[in-house]
Amino acid sequence: MSDCPMTTLGKKMLEDELSQLIKVDREYIKKAISEARDLGDLKENAEYHAAKERQSIIEGRIMDLQSKLARARVINVSNMQSDKIVFGAIVTILDKKKDITVTYQIVGEDEAMNDPGKISFSAPLGKSLIGKEEGDEVVVKAPKGDLIYEVISFRYN
C-alpha cells in the first residue's frame, strides 16, 4: 500500500469530512432508513431504496477517507526550503499560448478537488512542475496539443 501525501491543511480537511460523515450523515441516514421501513412494503418503497443507496455512498466514502488517513504522509509546507519545485510549493506560471499568469499550490488529490487555486501532484501539470526551477519551461501533453508554461516563481508557506 503506497503512502498518501497531503499537507497539514489537507489532512485536517479529510478529518473534518470523516467526522461529519460518521457523526452526522451516518446517523441521519439511519433514521431515514428506519422511517422509510415503517412506510410498508420494502419492494416498492422508493424512500427506503434511496436511503439505502445513500447509506452505501456514505459508508464507501468513510472507508475511503479512513484508508487515506491511515496511509497519510503529512508534509508541513511552512518549514520547507528547496531550490526546486516539490510537493506543497505555491507556483506561479505563465501560460505561453494564452499569455496569462496563474498561481497554483501543488497538493494531494482530495485537497485539490474543490479549490481552483490548487492542483494535484498527480495531475499532468502537477507532475510536470515537480523538480523544475524558476525560468524552466514546462510542456504538458493535452488532447488539443501541447500546453507550454514557464515557471515564473515558487515559494513555500
| pLDDT tens digits for range 1-59 | 578 999 999 999 999 999 999 999 999 999 999 988 887 777 778 888 899 999 999 99
User: Are residues 68 and 16 part of one domain?
Assistant: yes
Residue 21, domain CATH: 1.10.287.180
Cell of 84: 526546486
Alpha-carbon torsion (44, 47, 50, 52), positive or negative: negative
Q: How many independent structural domains does the chain possess?
A: 2
Q: How far apart are CA 107 and CA 130, in angstroms?
A: 11
Structural domain of residue 66, as residue ranges?
Answer: 4-75
User: Are residues 90 and 42 part of one domain?
Assistant: no
User: Are residues 85 and 71 part of one domain?
Assistant: no
Domain boundary among 48, 75, 102: 75
Domain boundary among 43, 75, 107: 75
Give the number of other CB atoms < 10 A from CB of residue 23: 10
pTM of this structure: 0.82
Cell of 123: 495531475
Domain boundary among 52, 75, 98: 75
Q: Given pLDDT bands bounded at 50, 70 and 90, which one contains residue 114?
A: confident
Q: How far apart are CA 10 and CA 135, in angstroms?
A: 29
Q: How far apart are CA 116 and CA 127, in angstroms?
A: 17
